[in-house]
């Protein structure tokens, strides 16, 4: 097995873990937590679950980027990221940048405290907003992953 194939396997497994988790949080955890009685209980339960996933995804997201960059380098694919036909490669990089910013900058510095305050002040509205944002991220990631498979196998050129 050559290094590009190994990088491809690491890339796909990282994306699988990452968006599998986003799908589980969005479609299972958030709706279940939103039905809990006490706002403080909702907040504590959601945080306990999401904190564990955030710890894991802080490994799988960088790994997806590293393995993707390895492939791009070895396949001489960087110029394709800025060509119109390579929009799916650019979409991957943008989705990755967005999640890196959320996980390593926005969540620790801004979103954590904001969510704790909002969830106590307006539990229903906050859970609805957080749920909407998760759906958007899940949809964007799913479309990008689908486009990645089609693009890598020549269907989008």
Chain residues binding ligand HEM by CB under 6 A are 8, 11-12, 15, 64-65, 68-69, 71-72, 75, 77, 92-93, 95-96, 141, 144-145, 148-149, 152
Give min distance, CB of 119 to ligand HEM, in A.
Answer: 28
State which residue, 68 or 123, has the beta carbon closest to ligand HEM.
Answer: 68
CA distance 94 to 80: 14
84 phi/psi in degrees, rounded to 5 = -55, -40
In the complex, the smallest distance separating the C-beta of residue 32 from ligand HEM, rounded to whole angstroms, is: 25
In whole angstroms, the minimum distance from the beta carbon of 35 to ligand HEM comes to 30
Residue closer to ligand HEM by CB (options 40, 59) is 59
| Contact predicate 42/33, CB 8 Å | yes
Position with the least CB separation from ligand HEM: 68
Q: Least separation, in Å, of the C-beta of 55 and ligand HEM?
A: 19
Contacts of 151 (CB under 8 A, 6+ apart): 86, 88, 89, 157
**18 near 98, Cβ under 8 Å?**
no
- Identify which of residues 33 and 92 has a Cβ nearer to ligand HEM in the complex: 92
The angle that helices 112-121 and 123-152 make with each other, rounded to 10 degrees, is: 140
The full DSSP string for 126-139 is: HHHHHHHHHHHHHH
Name the residue nearer to ligand HEM (CB basis): 32 or 94: 94
């Amino acid at each position: 097995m050559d290094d590009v194939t190994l990088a491809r396997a690491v890339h796909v497994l990282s994306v699988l873990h990452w968006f599998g988790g986003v799908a589980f949080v969005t479609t299972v955890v958030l709706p279940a937590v939103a039905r809990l009685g006490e706002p403080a209980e909702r907040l504590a339960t959601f945080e306990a679950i999401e904190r564990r996933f955030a710890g894991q995804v802080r490994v799988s997201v960088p790994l997806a980027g590293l393995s993707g960059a390895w492939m791009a380098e070895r396949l001489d694919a960087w110029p394709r990221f800025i060509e119109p036909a390579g929009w799916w490669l650019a979409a991957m990089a943008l989705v990755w940048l967005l999640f890196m910013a959320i996980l390593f900058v926005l969540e620790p510095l801004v979103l954590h405290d904001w969510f704790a305050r909002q969830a106590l002040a307006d539990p229903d509205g906050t859970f609805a907003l957080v749920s909407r944002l998760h759906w958007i991220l899940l949809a964007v990631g799913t479309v990008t992953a689908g486009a990645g498979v089609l693009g890598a196998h020549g269907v989008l050129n």
